[in-house]
Amino acid sequence: MSQAGYLFRLNAELGKRLGRIKKLGVGGDGYGLSRHAAYLASKQLDSGGFPDREGEPDLYYTAFGLRGLALLGELTAARALRAGEWLSGHLNSQATVVDLHALVEGCLLVSLAGAPDPLATAMPDWQGRLAELLGTFRTSDNGYGKVPYATTGSTYHSFLVALTHPLIGKPVPDTVGLLAFLAGRERADGGWVEAPAMRKSGANPTAAALGLRQMLDAPLEAERLETTAHFLDGLAGTDGGYRANSSIPLSDTLSSFTVAWSLDQHGLGERVRNRELAGYLEVTALATGGFRAGVWDAGDDVEYTFYGLGLLALVHGAENR
């Protein structure tokens, strides 16, 4: 798989499956897709950005708001234009890897929706300058950290950096070193950890490592993949979803999505607990639209709504359903 293809394939595949649900009217009302679209549209602020849980516009949440609308085919040129105007004001702000990726992805989504590309007004050779900036996040263990000149790499942030490079037309540098970094984060339980001191693997660093290996054309061998699938199976929670790690009693929508997506994209879709996840989705979806982070969550936001939509696509939108 090409490095540039991963993010486009994820968005395209989920969008296609949600489109199938909508077209066939699966679940009566399409499992509330119209409500979720209205929820996402209502979250866009007058400024054009999307809010965090405190109600403040945020690059990270703006990218998720735009992604969710795009999945549903509801990212109109007018909505994209408003978002683009807000993103234009953040081209020169200092940012973490998370924010840098969100900014570039948000600008791409805006332009794909037919609005002016906010990056068109960026300084000359902004791609090269951004690649240099991303290089400052490289760590001595060959990964990437959350902030420049970090002492140790993060599995998640290394995944984000690898996602960002092709979006700016640049190859991921030193892929051999990056794969060596991932090898140092592998654990005997079949998964990967976020930081070197950790012993128990987690759902999300494992999904990040699997995605990164796919981007770098380094898929797992069948026997090793089975070990990882067994680890992911073991994260199933009694509430119907998947847990972030084996020490946590309750599931969350993010981990549920990353586990289901990882299994699905490695040819192991039959291992996904679709019936249980369908029940989990029913109790985490809000009647007015949007999704909670879990049954324990009293709030909602556009990030977890994106993951809820992704789960809906995987559970109810498969072609053989």
Q: What distance in Å separates the CA atoms of residue 75 and residue 68, rounded to the nearest whole number?
A: 8
pLDDT above 90 (res 232): yes
| Confidence band of 320 (pLDDT split at 50, 70, 90) | low
* Per-residue model confidence (pLDDT) at position 28: 59
* Per-residue model confidence (pLDDT) at position 106: 96
Domain range for residue 168?
5-316
Give DSSP secondary structure letters for 107-122. Answer: HHHHHHTTSPPGGGGS
User: Which domain CATH number covers 57?
Assistant: 1.50.10.20
Region 113-130: mean pLDDT is: 92
Residue 244, burial from CB neighbour count under 10 angstroms (0-12, 13-18, 19+): buried
Structural domain count, the chain: 1
Beta bridge partners of 144: 138, 154
Query: Which one, of 292, 279, 203, lies nearest residue 239 by Cα?
Result: 279
Q: pLDDT tens digits for 63-118?
A: 999 999 999 999 999 999 999 999 999 988 777 899 999 999 999 999 999 999 99
In a domain, 321, yes or no: no
Give DSSP secondary structure letters for 183-201. Answer: HHHB-TTSSB-SSTT--S-
Q: pLDDT tens digits for 272-290?
A: 999 999 999 999 999 999 9
pTM here is: 0.95
Query: How high is the mean pLDDT of the chain?
Result: 94
pLDDT above 50 (res 2): no
In the chain, pLDDT over 70 holds for what percent of residues?
97
Which token pair is 193?
A: 């950890």
Which token pair is 80?
A: 């994209």
Element (H, E) at 51: none
Query: Using the 8-state DSSP alphabet, how is residue 85 labeled?
Result: H
Number of Cβ within a 10 Å radius of residue 82: 19
Q: pLDDT tens digits for 16-43?
A: 999 999 887 766 566 899 999 999 999 9
In a domain, 27, yes or no: yes
Q: pLDDT tens digits for 140-175?
A: 999 999 989 999 999 999 999 999 999 999 999 999
In a domain, 249, yes or no: yes
